Structure 1
Amino acid sequence: MDHRLAAVLAADMVGYSRLMEVDERGTLARLRAHRIELIDPAIAKNQGNIIKTTGDGMLVEFQSVADAARCAIEIQERMRRRNSDVASDRRIDFRIGINLGDIIFEDGDIYGDGVNIAARVEQLAEIGGICVTAAVHDQIDGRVDVAFEDLGEKLLKNISRPVRLYRIVIAPPEQRPAPGGAHAATKAAVVKPTVAVLPFTNMSGDPEQEFFADGLTEDILTELSRRRELFVISRTSTFVYKGHAANLREVAQKLGARYLVEGSVRKSGDRLRVSVQLIDTASDAHIWAERYDRKLDDIFSIQDEITSAIVATLPGRLEAAQQDQLARLKPSSMAAYECVLAAKVLHHRSTRQDNVEALKLIDRALQLDPDYAHAHAWRGCILGQGWGYGWCEDKDAVFNEVAFELDRAMALDDNDPDVHRILAAVAIVRNDMNRARYHQDRALELNPNYDLVVVQMGELFTWLGRAEEGLEWIRKAMRLNPHHPARFWSHLGKAHFVGRQYAQAVEDFMHLSTMDAQQHAFIAACYGWLGDRTASSAHVMRVRQLDPELDLEKFLATMHYANDADLQHLREGLVKAGL
């Protein structure tokens, strides 16, 4: 027998017997999905080892008690989000207990007081909660960013001595108990400072280096977007002003940003000079400026310094302890990094030829650095662009290749929001809404100001039949990106249609300068429900002109509604329109 000190996590599903009695197959399917998509990845990510599983629970061993706590917190927080749109009588909830003690390891199993105490502690946890022993509390207090509630000493079944227990508080900060047991006062809403990063100017005198200035701008913008205390205007809106001399106050007014970041890049050989300044447009004051002279190998340090300095300067920032510090894997090859920057610039142009050239650059980056996670993510994105626009001969093969690249990227770095954004889109196409929601939540955690992630959250809620929430997310994406792509109006129109607001949906679609067959079909369905046969017939005619082979069943087969009632609602509107 092998004795050693270890952290043991015991988890148990609440109400397992009741749920199995009501819906055995559905309960097992949902529990399996939670295991595959959420629980097992959280355990693996935190270096846990699953020792034993039962129908409704598991025992997991960790060498680090902090890893055990982080794993438990991640599972419970994600389960709470997943259960937000599930009826209370169908929710799957867990209780989790953690103990640190001397464990006996034998024949792949674990025994001893340390295990027994973890199991007893788990039974005292609240639904969706985490209960830990004093040994665990003493090790993680101050190392894991959570609050604790002292539950005092408890007598546990079959344990001769009393054990002091603590509850990990994972409720939102405003709901956490304050000292003395009083509830903390609700905090006033924080008005986030809005910042826009203007395209950095290429001062190298070499047009071929333009991509480097653009890429540096985009990476700084992305790093700022990950800071939850900021409201960051998207690159699509700010890059409208690339190459144009403009009045900064007018630019800020149009973008809805008080603070502007502007700068220049001069690259010569292996040397790089970056100049950057932060401007308060309300007073035209240059409140911060800096110049960085570095060897090119220090580009990541330069980006981190610029980002940190801007965040530290902006008023209304949150306490440093509350900031999300997300580690980013860095490529081993600077040439690979430059290839990815150039590929991004080409991708944003959204033309077939640029898509081909972007793919060549991404392939070159991966030849130089096969384990470069962000390059794999963007290869999936570029391939997905070609798939979406129909720029490929074998769509099934390309679709499978997108999935492969994203799986590879996620295996290398689970902290890339683009990976989860595109995985969510793939899951929607496959009508796997649980997986789509998981990846959407993850992408939003990683980059809450990314307009493409935010608008896709609205699209997902529309497919789920929750039109009001969908509209809220889509409008937020439009605010994040005042120069948003035209397709945002299409998403808004589809959400209004699901919400039975037909006149507003038509108005949304009319913002589009050109419309495809699907968009004309939605307008036709709106007019069908409004009883305007003349208008609906005109749009049905446009559908047939744009896609002569499209009929009602083929069109409905491209929809991804989770509720059959929403699909039949669309069908009936199209029938009324004459499709």
Structure 2
Amino acid sequence: MPDDGTEQRKLAAIMFTDMVGYSALVQRNEALALELLEEHHRLLRPVFPKFGGREIKSTGDGFLVEFASALAAAQCAIEIQKTLVQYNAAAGPERRFQVRIGVHLGDVVLREADIFGDGVNIAARIEPLAEAGGICLSRPVVDQVANKIDSPLVKLGTPELKNISVPMDVYRVVLPWHQPPTSGKTVAGLRPHTARRLQPTVAVAVGLVALLGVGVWLWQRSPGAKPERIDSLAVLIVPEVGAEAHPSSLAAELTEGLTTRMARLGSFNKVISPSAMARYRAPRVSPHDITRELGVNALVEGEIRADRDRVSFDLRLIGAGQRRSWWSATFANALGDVDRLVDEASLAILRELDPTATLTLESHPAPEAPARRQATQLYRQARYLNYFEGVTNSLAAIQLLEQAVAVDDTFAKAWAALAIKYVEHFYVFDPAKQETWGSKAFAAADTALTLDSKMAEVYVARAKLLWAPISGFQHEKALAELRQALELDWQSFAAHEFASVVCEHVGLLDEALVHARRAEELDPLSPYPLIDQAAPHLDAGNHAEALRYWQRVPSSAQYQSYVGSHWAWTLFALGDTAGAKAKVEEYFLLARNDPAGEDKAGGLTAMKALLAAAAGDIDNAKLLIAVAEKKEDRYGEFHHTGYLIAATYARLRQPAETLRWLKKTAVEGFPCYPLFAKDPNLDPVRADSQVQTFLTDQAGQYESRKTSWPKTTAAVDGTRGRR
């Protein structure tokens, strides 16, 4: 860039940021305003260079930043808002702040260290159009980034921009934690949803609630048609348009609470998992499309509002194929008494769905003490972070939950959430420190169950701990925990999904498929039930059926090494060696984006070795085996890679090494006898006497499991009555 006083003209992406409400804050509390301004600079400045941004100057409470591409600028803007959401989730109310961001791609003039021109002026005019915590893009930017960023885009119109004569379309980026505006055209298939405002009678009810200070609710009939049969439903509560992080975390809590009560108290064959509903929070999707995609008869839909002391939400019951509700109600209560509010709403819904039902509210303790209110707020902030991926968010959620139980060590839900978070963290992010995380998780789970023994999710967490490498893969004990979870909540997606995993690993393939199918019913859009159905079919030698499921698994699913290697294995078993090789290379490319490193579990490398051995390329096969074996220390669940190594040695006609790796595979979590018995890759060494002895022993253990272990599928009968 010239610094000698000359000018240079070029095309650039320009970003303006502005700290919302800073001037007013200065008037109220100048010292705090200056502290937050410094915090603002500390948070934003490191983000710019990550995307190639060059800070031109600070505008006091904002920045002017230049980027080489529109995509880089848009990605940077999204990262900034994500950073601030994470900061605000952990910060006290008085220290939270938001920024607006505007981005334009246009012609600029570079002069010394500054930039000028229409490109800068338009970006400056677009920024104020963004909502607090939002991002606005000009049409030239959208033309460059459409279908290249995950966030949908909504057209806001063609506003008149001061001192700008050229008409300019402006778009809003719909971030995962925001709702779309109440009007506007969409890009990339986004459907805006018009926020439903309170009817006058409902507004009166809210006023009565404020006067009485109790959980009052008012219901009314609406024009929609009630389905003749309701045996399946989903629940979706979202913040009212414009709400911030606090109501978002409450919305998630209400969705989970209502879903759990519908599953436990109702006689429904299917209640969709809360995890499945998270994808419908933003952008909003029509009830018609939600019920169609999830295959349910009815949707419980609602919007939440909250202030410092109270929470209220509107609920509607909408039938499949309908766009209007047949029943609606408003509920409200003190913010510290959300459980009672959820119970009252659940009763009202269930009585509407079945007027003959005899139902009673659970008893609840007196209103929360100050310590519980503080712990609850920390708990909600942690739960809110579950909607964001990455190790930073995981650690932040753990820290918040640890603070919550430190404030109130009798808060069972916080202990349960902490146990689950510890387990998730070491499984996904830190397998090398399983012992540290595992001991913490066991302690948290035990405390949670001592305080409340009826939380199904804690038994699932204990099952995952018992089935982890640190516990020596205690299959039978893990399944016992899962049976307990399903007794408490037979519609638990997490329990069915993990039961499928454990059953498949010990060769109980029919049970694995029952649980996997049930998990798919509870969350039809999750990739994991698809993986859980592909694997048993592969183990059983049903390769065409396995392929049908692998083909439905999205490339964005976790466990790239496992999916890619087993998909390739299936193709190889079907005789498509070229397709198997291509699939391995495809997933090698995907695995390179894994923050833990390329092919961290070694499965793709081991599959490549198996293909080399099958082709007679012995030297390359041995070289690849050596590379795969070195991955064992970096990844706890190595048994799938271990089996592929055993299969490769069998192809190389080395029975001793085959047996060594088969034993490791069985002892370290994968004693799947049906696979051992049928896999043609092992045929070259089956005549070996020691291999035969091993297989005979495995057959005996397998038969014992089939006959003596209680079945976990007893809870999957689709005919459960009310509990």
1:440 alignment partner, one of 482, 500, 516: 482
Q: Secondary structure at the match of 1:260?
A: strand
The structural deviation recorded for 1:256 is 1.6
Deviates more, 1:429-438 or 1:302-311: 429-438
Q: Secondary structure at the match of 1:199?
A: strand
Partner Cα separation in structure 1 for residue 329 and residue 423 of structure 2: 39
Q: Secondary structure at the match of 1:229?
A: coil
- The verdict on how the C-alpha distance between 1:207 and 1:428 changes in structure 2, with shifts beyond 3 A counting, is closer
- The verdict on how the C-alpha distance between 1:530 and 1:198 changes in structure 2, with shifts beyond 3 A counting, is same
1:445-477 CA-to-partner distances (Å, cap 9, x unmatched) read 111222121222222221232222321221221
Partner Cα separation in structure 1 for residue 531 and residue 487 of structure 2: 25
Partner Cα separation in structure 1 for residue 320 and residue 275 of structure 2: 20
The letter of the residue matching 2:458 is V
Partner Cα separation in structure 1 for residue 232 and residue 481 of structure 2: 26
Partner in structure 2 of residue 297 of structure 1: 336
The structural deviation recorded for 1:241 is 2.1
Partner Cα separation in structure 2 for residue 282 and residue 419 of structure 1: 36
- The verdict on how the C-alpha distance between 1:395 and 1:259 changes in structure 2, with shifts beyond 3 A counting, is same
Partner in structure 1 of residue 721 of structure 2: none
1:225–1:232 CA contact under 8 A, matched in 2: yes
Partner Cα separation in structure 2 for residue 573 and residue 565 of structure 1: 12
Partner Cα separation in structure 2 for residue 286 and residue 448 of structure 1: 28
- The verdict on how the C-alpha distance between 1:574 and 1:383 changes in structure 2, with shifts beyond 3 A counting, is farther
Q: Secondary structure at the match of 2:467?
A: helix
Q: Are 2:552 and 1:511 equivalent residues in the alignment? A: yes
Q: Secondary structure at the match of 1:561?
A: coil
**TM-score calculated relative to the size of structure 2:** 0.48
Partner in structure 2 of residue 222 of structure 1: 260
The letter of the residue matching 2:521 is R
1:387 alignment partner, one of 426, 429, 435: 426
- The verdict on how the C-alpha distance between 1:421 and 1:191 changes in structure 2, with shifts beyond 3 A counting, is farther
Q: What are the residue-to-residue correspondences of 1:327-476 with 2, within 5 Å? A: 333-391=372-430, 394-429=433-468, 430-476=472-518
1:352-378 CA-to-partner distances (Å, cap 9, x unmatched) read 121111112111211121122221221
Q: Secondary structure at the match of 2:483?
A: helix
The structural deviation recorded for 1:422 is 1.6
2:234–2:298 CA contact under 8 A, matched in 1: yes
2:232 alignment partner, one of 186, 190, 194: 194
- The verdict on how the C-alpha distance between 1:573 and 1:212 changes in structure 2, with shifts beyond 3 A counting, is farther
Partner Cα separation in structure 2 for residue 522 and residue 329 of structure 1: 51
1:204–1:265 CA contact under 8 A, matched in 2: no
The letter of the residue matching 1:555 is G
1:78-131 CA-to-partner distances (Å, cap 9, x unmatched) read xxxxxxxxxxxxxxxxxxxxxxxxxxxxxxxxxxxxxxxxxxxxxxxxxxxxxx
Partner Cα separation in structure 2 for residue 550 and residue 328 of structure 1: 55
1:329–1:413 CA contact under 8 A, matched in 2: no
The letter of the residue matching 1:561 is F
1:140-197 CA-to-partner distances (Å, cap 9, x unmatched) read xxxxxxxxxxxxxxxxxxxxxxxxxxxxxxxxxxxxxxxxxxxxxxxxxx97621111
Partner Cα separation in structure 2 for residue 222 and residue 358 of structure 1: 22
- The verdict on how the C-alpha distance between 1:469 and 1:293 changes in structure 2, with shifts beyond 3 A counting, is closer
Partner Cα separation in structure 2 for residue 532 and residue 399 of structure 1: 42
Q: What are the residue-to-residue correspondences of 1:513-552 with 2, within 5 Å? A: 513-514=554-555, 516-537=560-581, 546=599, 547=602, 549-551=627-629
2:460–2:485 CA contact under 8 A, matched in 1: yes
2:273–2:492 CA contact under 8 A, matched in 1: yes
Partner Cα separation in structure 1 for residue 515 and residue 578 of structure 2: 33
- The verdict on how the C-alpha distance between 1:223 and 1:350 changes in structure 2, with shifts beyond 3 A counting, is farther
Partner Cα separation in structure 1 for residue 679 and residue 420 of structure 2: 30
- The verdict on how the C-alpha distance between 1:465 and 1:258 changes in structure 2, with shifts beyond 3 A counting, is same
Partner Cα separation in structure 2 for residue 534 and residue 283 of structure 1: 48
- The verdict on how the C-alpha distance between 1:248 and 1:396 changes in structure 2, with shifts beyond 3 A counting, is same
Q: Secondary structure at the match of 2:237?
A: coil
- The verdict on how the C-alpha distance between 1:243 and 1:543 changes in structure 2, with shifts beyond 3 A counting, is closer
Partner Cα separation in structure 1 for residue 467 and residue 316 of structure 2: 42
1:244 alignment partner, one of 260, 263, 283: 283
Deviates more, 1:296-305 or 1:282-291: 282-291
- The verdict on how the C-alpha distance between 1:447 and 1:560 changes in structure 2, with shifts beyond 3 A counting, is same
Q: What are the residue-to-residue correspondences of 1:143-158 with 2, within 5 Å? A: none
Q: What are the residue-to-residue correspondences of 1:118-267 with 2, within 5 Å? A: 193-202=231-240, 205-230=243-268, 231-267=270-306
Partner Cα separation in structure 1 for residue 570 and residue 684 of structure 2: 11
The letter of the residue matching 1:503 is A
2:523 alignment partner, one of 449, 463, 481: 481
2:540–2:678 CA contact under 8 A, matched in 1: no
Q: Secondary structure at the match of 1:483?
A: coil
Partner Cα separation in structure 2 for residue 353 and residue 287 of structure 1: 43
1:250-305 CA-to-partner distances (Å, cap 9, x unmatched) read 32222222221122222122122222222234565634322223222332211100
Partner Cα separation in structure 1 for residue 229 and residue 473 of structure 2: 37
- The verdict on how the C-alpha distance between 1:372 and 1:518 changes in structure 2, with shifts beyond 3 A counting, is same
2:340–2:364 CA contact under 8 A, matched in 1: no
The letter of the residue matching 1:460 is V
1:193–1:314 CA contact under 8 A, matched in 2: no
The structural deviation recorded for 1:306 is 0.4
- The verdict on how the C-alpha distance between 1:410 and 1:284 changes in structure 2, with shifts beyond 3 A counting, is same
The letter of the residue matching 1:518 is Y
The structural deviation recorded for 1:235 is 1.9
The structural deviation recorded for 1:209 is 3.6
2:351–2:357 CA contact under 8 A, matched in 1: no
Partner Cα separation in structure 2 for residue 538 and residue 568 of structure 1: 28
Partner Cα separation in structure 2 for residue 359 and residue 495 of structure 1: 34
2:317–2:328 CA contact under 8 A, matched in 1: yes
The structural deviation recorded for 1:415 is 0.8
The structural deviation recorded for 1:478 is 0.9
**TM-score calculated relative to the size of structure 1:** 0.59
Partner Cα separation in structure 1 for residue 549 and residue 321 of structure 2: 33
- The verdict on how the C-alpha distance between 1:237 and 1:205 changes in structure 2, with shifts beyond 3 A counting, is closer
The structural deviation recorded for 1:392 is 6.4
2:258–2:346 CA contact under 8 A, matched in 1: yes
- The verdict on how the C-alpha distance between 1:256 and 1:384 changes in structure 2, with shifts beyond 3 A counting, is same
Partner Cα separation in structure 2 for residue 417 and residue 246 of structure 1: 30
Q: Are 2:642 and 1:555 equivalent residues in the alignment? A: yes
Q: What are the residue-to-residue correspondences of 1:13-24 with 2, within 5 Å? A: none
Partner Cα separation in structure 2 for residue 374 and residue 574 of structure 1: 52
Quick check: which has more Rg, 1 or 2?
A: 2
Q: Secondary structure at the match of 1:465?
A: coil
- The verdict on how the C-alpha distance between 1:519 and 1:293 changes in structure 2, with shifts beyond 3 A counting, is closer
| Structure 1 stretches lacking a partner, 5+ long | 1-189
Structural RMSD (CA): 3.4
% of aligned pairs identical? 18
Deviates more, 1:346-355 or 1:358-367: 346-355
Partner Cα separation in structure 2 for residue 458 and residue 562 of structure 1: 15
1:498 alignment partner, one of 520, 539, 550: 539
1:203–1:265 CA contact under 8 A, matched in 2: no
Partner Cα separation in structure 1 for residue 539 and residue 528 of structure 2: 17
- The verdict on how the C-alpha distance between 1:534 and 1:273 changes in structure 2, with shifts beyond 3 A counting, is closer
Q: Secondary structure at the match of 1:298?
A: helix
Partner in structure 1 of residue 154 of structure 2: none
